[in-house]
Amino acid sequence: MITAVLVVLLLAFPLIALWKRIRILYYIEKLPGLRAYPLIGTTYQFYNVPKSDIFSTLVKRNLKYGPILRSWLGHRPLVHLMKPAYFEKVMTSQVSLSKGMSYDTVKPWMGNGLLVNTGASWHQRRKLLTPAFHFSILENFVEVFNEKALKLADKLETKVGQQINMLPYITKTTLDIICETAMGIQFNAMDDGSSEYIDALCSVTGLAIMRMLRPWEMIPFIYKMTKNGKRYYRCVKILHEVATQVLVEKKKAYNSKKASAVQETSEEDLLMGKKKRKAFLDLVLEASNGGQDLSDTEIREEIDTFLFAGHDTTSSGICWTLLLLGNHQDWQDKVRTEIEDIMQGEQRPFTMQDLQEMKCLERVIKEQLRIFPNVPVIARMLSEDLNLDGYYIPAGVSINMQIYEAHHDPENWPEPERFDPDRFLPENTKNRHPYSYVPFSAGPRNCIGQKFAQHEQKILLATILRKYRVKAVDKVEDVKMNFEIVIRPHDGLNVILERID
């Protein structure tokens, strides 16, 4: 009898798995999309496509078959959604909170950091990390934003009148900001002519996306033998070494009596009205209960996650904004006038109150995030069946929410390629679907650092625009985008700066 039960169980598990697979195949193949072939799925559409054209190729395919379609990464199906109503169903779900399979390619790097984590572990870490982005904490970071913005403006002084690629300057600035605010360390990328960390980071994000387009590289032991795989893991090693060093140095200071003394406000600081600024990592170490709640490896995963998410998205957003303003001098003048009206000729750092009054600049940034959403795709793994306009998507399927395409849908955004920040005036937003604009995602898994990014972007842009007129070298429609985790201009952001008298 025991033997019979064991035989039934041994047969049951593969039969159940086979039934689930057949069920998925049945419903997925009812969706529109390119014809799929064994082993390669629909990835053949990217063969011999230059890196600079991959993103536009994806967009053209999605618009042809959307607003709901399927693709195949080898034997694994993906469902792509483009309608706000579809986004709302997935993003507001309290069940389907796991990230989609697209994030598998960054797990060797970020592990179970907040970006890719799931289940009870994600809930625990989200609850633990949320206080680090409280309004009062962010207010203290404004000092660092101002300091680095002024340093950037000074460095650009020597480039006035020349054609300059702004991307590396902005990237190093935002990296220094996230290191000082979030980690409490001086990284000094702005003073370093080259940065091994930034080079490794850019390589990893590009390689992670390219891996998904080559199904055979999704097999770990095969990937590790490929040229791309070897390069990927070399870069991950560099990123982990930096994050580990940050943690080691921070823990030493945190556990020493000297660190305890630094946490106390000195008499001089009280007289000067200064407040001690706690970094994100300080708060994590406090909350981690001496390693009982979070291990060193888990803390390092969060460091890796926040070093990436805290600077790469912001630097990309600032560059796209400068491209748009460099092509629309009328809006650049409006922003500059607003800044001068706020500052009244004073040469002082920007305050939180100043940022709240920058309504025109805020609309410009929102329009930039519509036209060039920093993260063009967000993925979820369905934990329950989903019915969308008669199409049935079974649990266990990975969903890609195509934010870029939704942000360019003429049904919600008339003349979607036109730059018009007034789309975000209150009277123009009241009747728009709330999920037609989701640059920071929405629902339980929205971006924890969106306010941090918005404040940082405002101060850096306002500082640059107050000192320089930015003239774009390239037209917006001529700039090609690299499809990585974050979309970047393929050939950088080339501008000419003119000094404001």
How many Å separate Cα 212 from the centre of its chain?
18
Q: For residue 484, what pLDDT is reported?
A: 82
18 falls within a domain: no
DSSP letter, residue 375: S
168 falls within a domain: yes
Query: In three state form, how does the secondary structure of 414-430 look?
Result: CCCCCCCHHHHCHHHHC
Q: What is the mean pLDDT of the chain?
A: 87
Q: pLDDT grade, residue 270 (50/70/90)? A: very low
Q: Sign of dihedral through CA atoms 332, 334, 340, 342?
A: negative
Q: Which domain holds residue 454?
A: 31-264+274-499
Q: For residue 265, what pLDDT is reported?
A: 47
Residue 374 structure tokens: 């920093």
| pLDDT tens-digit readout, 456-500 | 999 999 999 999 999 999 999 999 998 888 888 988 899 999 998
485 falls within a domain: yes
| pLDDT tens-digit readout, 151-203 | 999 999 999 999 999 999 999 999 999 988 888 888 888 887 667 888 888 88
Count of domains for the chain = 1
Share of the chain above pLDDT 90, in %: 52
Q: For residue 285, what pLDDT is reported?
A: 79
269 falls within a domain: no
0.75 exceeded by the pTM? Answer: yes
195 falls within a domain: yes
386 falls within a domain: yes
Confidence check: pLDDT of 19 > 70: no
67 falls within a domain: yes
Q: For residue 258, what pLDDT is reported?
A: 44
Q: For residue 125, what pLDDT is reported?
A: 82
Q: Is 76 helix (H, G, I), strand (E, B) or coil?
A: strand
Q: pLDDT grade, residue 4 (50/70/90)? A: low
16 falls within a domain: no
CATH of the domain at 142: 1.10.630.10
Q: For residue 117, what pLDDT is reported?
A: 87
Residue 297 structure tokens: 């490896």
Residue 134 structure tokens: 């409280």
Do 459 and 303 touch, CB atoms closer than 8 A?
no
Q: pLDDT grade, residue 257 (50/70/90)? A: very low
Confidence check: pLDDT of 268 > 60: no
